[in-house]
Amino acid sequence: MTKSNFPNFPDFPDFSGIADKLTLDESILLLFSSVALEEIALSHLINAEAEKLDTLLSRFEDELTFSNLLSINHNVQSSLSDIVNKEMLLLNKLENIVKLHKNGSAPHSGSAPTGSAPTG
């Protein structure tokens, strides 16, 4: 992994060559951490949208037309819609991590349901 150029961004270890040596619990913790970091990133995006609105409305209050306001609203709505979509993906990821933690093994997609199947 390459290190980020963002200030105050946590340094992540390089897992190349040791990924196969991680325990299930260590892998689950890393997955939970990845969800948490993505949530932090989304919170920063939401805050940036709020700051953008605040700046536009306070600095250009007298110059904004109805058309400008609609355009700004559309832009913010589009950004927030993208964030909500990402939140849905993160929820799905989190639910899968919880299932993995409870079951102690990775779910197999397309696997046959457990239980007895008719033999005859």
pLDDT of 7 over the 90 cut: no
Write out pLDDT tens, residues 22-69: 888 888 998 999 999 999 999 999 999 999 999 999 998 889 899 999
Q: Delimit the domains of the chain by residue range.
A: 23-103
Encoded amino acid at 27, one letter: S
For residues 97 and 41, what is the distance between their CA atoms, to the nearest angstrom?
Answer: 19
Q: pTM of the predicted model, to two decimals?
A: 0.70
pLDDT-derived band at 3 (thresholds 50, 70, 90) equals low
pLDDT of 1 over the 60 cut: no
Q: What is the DSSP letter of 69?
A: H
Write out pLDDT tens, residues 59-89: 988 898 999 999 999 999 999 999 999 999 9
The size of the chain, in residues, is 120
Encoded amino acid at 84, one letter: V
Q: What is the pLDDT, as a whole number, of residue 79?
A: 96
Phi, psi for residue 6 in degrees, rounded to 5: -75, 140
- CA 36 vs. chain centroid, Å, equals 8
Write out pLDDT tens, residues 100-117: 999 886 555 544 444 444
For residues 17 and 33, what is the distance between their CA atoms, to the nearest angstrom?
Answer: 20
